[in-house]
Amino acid sequence: MPTLPIADFRGGRAATTRSVATGRRWLAPAAALPLIGALALLLRPTADDVPATIDLTQLAAAAAAAAPEASPLSVEVRVESNDTLDRIFRSVGIDHTTLSELRQLSDVRKALDVLRPGDIITLTHADGALLSLNRRISNTLTLSVARAGDGYAVDYIENPFEVEVGATRARIDSSLFAAGRAAGLGSETIMVLANEIFGWDIDFALDIRRGDEFAVVYQRKFQDGRYVRDGRVLAAEFVNQGRVHRAVWFESADGSVRGYFTPEGRGMRKAFLRAPLDFTRISSGFNPRRLHPISGRVRAHRGVDYAAPTGTPIWAAGDGRIQFAGRKGGYGNTVIIDHGRGVSTLYAHMSRFGRATRAGTRVAQGQVIGYVGSTGASTGPHLHYEYLVGGQHRNPATVTLPDTEVPAHLEAEFGAAAATALAQLRLTDRSDGPALASR
């Protein structure tokens, strides 16, 4: 069992469980096989655009020593679409023979030949003689080329994320977003809670109430001591109208299982989404940072109405086959999906259908089948949603998808991981206020 930094959590400031993981894993192959490593890193899509700090002090000092009479000039170039290194070098005024010299270094050639718009390349030169070139390859790795004697020295500078585990608990007074932001969570983390962890159990469009509570154990990523962004949510709890939902992240050592599970090992993903559209688009006032007014809920008839702007995408609540797509009296533009076993879902008043929405077509959960509108007998743009079992309206069942249970042979591994995550979650449950993750 991993040890828990209980003291830090108790202290309420929660600088905890620090580890430097991400960059190491990448650098190992990069060191062993420089070419393949560099290529793999280049082809890796950049997840976001957090600028990395490149320390040019040493390079500048080296440059000054190498060329004492010319004062070195450092230029930062942002790559435009269709830019070539040749064009960049010419625009900066670097001697054109330098590029062919660099290209003879295979490490460099691979790392420079693929340019993406938005890439930043830092060039230091003195009177057109290149002294150094720095190119950020990923969030955690920078290619550094520096003049050394008659040639160039190539180095990959690692600047890995430092990952810290934080924990926080918050009470919803105005909205999930406001509470989450006030507790220090990034917007993406709040979205993960709603769409990737609890979206099958809680209707975030209609069922959130003042006094609901949530707790999150999650990674926070730092670089050079600066917070960069949140990482993965490791455990979470949501108390919705008094009902407690808990989830833990589990990734088995063999990589065969990864996802969110209940503490008992059942997948959080269920056969049906609670709300077949993005909750941030919902509310009469259309303000995702506001609590949805209870008046927005209308259950006078056999379905649920979600007021949302025209054009809001509507998702298939579960896997199935489209049984009907067309006009249907007062329902207007309507889609009915047959999910098998007598279960069907109905979506009405659509402004238009999804591209592949045709009777007989198979659809997957979360696929866009149409867009919110006000066709048929409707007074304003909204989605009218029905969930039917044997033709009778019901609340969406919380049937777990069959393939999302932790398999028996991984139960012990899951149990240990879940115990750790749940213990961290419990530490947020203190009477004297939330344990805020901060530094």
C-beta closer to Zn ion: residue 250 or 315: 315
Closest distance of CB 347 from Zn ion, Å: 11
CB of 274 to Zn ion, least distance (A): 17
Q: How far is the CB of 302 from Zn ion (least distance, A)?
A: 8
Report the site for Zn ion in 86-105 (rule: CB under 5 A): none
Secondary structure of residue 17 in the 3-state scheme? coil
Stretch that binds Zn ion, among 60-68, 151-159, 210-218, 383-391 (CB under 5 A): 383-391
Site for Zn ion in 311-370 (CB under 5 A): none
Phi, psi of 313 (to 5 degrees): -65, 140
Q: For Zn ion, which is the closer residue by CB, 164 or 305?
A: 305
Query: Which residue of 169, 270, 292, 384 would you call a contact of Zn ion, by CB under 5 A?
Result: 384
Map residues 288-307 to x or -, x wherever contact with Zn ion holds by CB under 5 A.
---------------x-x--
Report which of 245, 250, 161 is spatially closest to residue 208, judged by C-alpha positions: 245
CA pair distance 266, 145, nearest whole angstrom? 51
Residue facing Zn ion at closest CB distance: 384
Q: Which is nearer to Zn ion, 288 or 303 (CB)?
A: 303
Q: How many CB atoms lie within 10 A of CB 397?
A: 13
Q: CA-to-CA distance for 5 and 21, rounded, in angstroms?
A: 18
Q: Say whether residue 386 binds Zn ion (CB under 5 A).
A: no
Minimum CB separation of residue 381 from Zn ion in Å reads 12
- Judged by beta carbon, residue 125 or residue 384, the one nearer Zn ion is 384
Q: What is the 3-state secondary structure (H, E, C) of 110-163?
A: HHHHCCCCCCEEEEEEECCEEEEEEEEEECCEEEEEEEECCEEEEEEEECCCEE
Angle CA 183–185–186, to nearest 5: 150
Query: Which of 213/305 has CB closer to Zn ion?
Result: 305
Residues whose CB is less than 8 angstroms from the CB of residue 69 and which lie 6 or more positions away in sequence, other chains included: none
Residues that bind Zn ion (CB under 5 A): 303, 305, 384
